[in-house]
Amino acid sequence: MTKEVVKRHGGTEKFDKDKLRKAIKGAAEEAGLMGEKLKEVVDDTVSEVMEFLSDKERVHSAAIRDAILMHLDKAETAVAKAWRQHESEYKGR
C-alpha cells in the first residue's frame, strides 16, 4: 500500500485516501452528478486508483492523477473534463 506521495515540486506527503476521494467527488459534482450516480463514480474511481497503488510504497502525484483520469476517461468523460477544467483554471496546467 502506498505510504508516500511525491508532489510535483519534489516534496512528499503521507498518502491520504480521503483527499483522493474529496478530489474525485469535487470533479463529479462540478460535472453535475448527484445522488447515487455521484457515489458510484467516486467509489469506482477510488477503488480503481487504490488497486493501481496497492503494490507501491511511494508514488508521484502525477501518476495518481493519470490513473484517475484514465479511469474517468472510460467511465465518465464529463467528470474527466471537469477535472481537467479545474486544473486549467486553478493550477495552470
HEC readout, 65-83: HHHHHHHHHHHCHHHHHHH
Q: Which domain holds residue 40?
A: 4-91
Name which residue leads in pLDDT, 29 or 1. Answer: 29
Residues 6+ apart with CB under 8 A from 28: 38, 41, 42, 76, 79, 82
Domain count, the chain: 1
Q: How much is the CA Rg of the chain, to the nearest whole Å?
A: 13
Question: How confident is the model at residue 82, as a pLDDT?
Answer: 96
**In this predicted model, what pLDDT tens digit does every residue of 21-70 receive, in sequence order?**
999 999 999 999 999 999 999 999 999 999 999 999 999 999 999 999 99
Model's pTM, two decimal places? 0.90
Give phi and psi for 7, each to the nearest 5: -80, 170
Question: How confident is the model at residue 90, as a pLDDT?
Answer: 80
pLDDT range class, residue 1, cuts 50, 70, 90: low
- The C-alpha atoms of residue 93 and residue 90 are separated, in whole angstroms, by 8
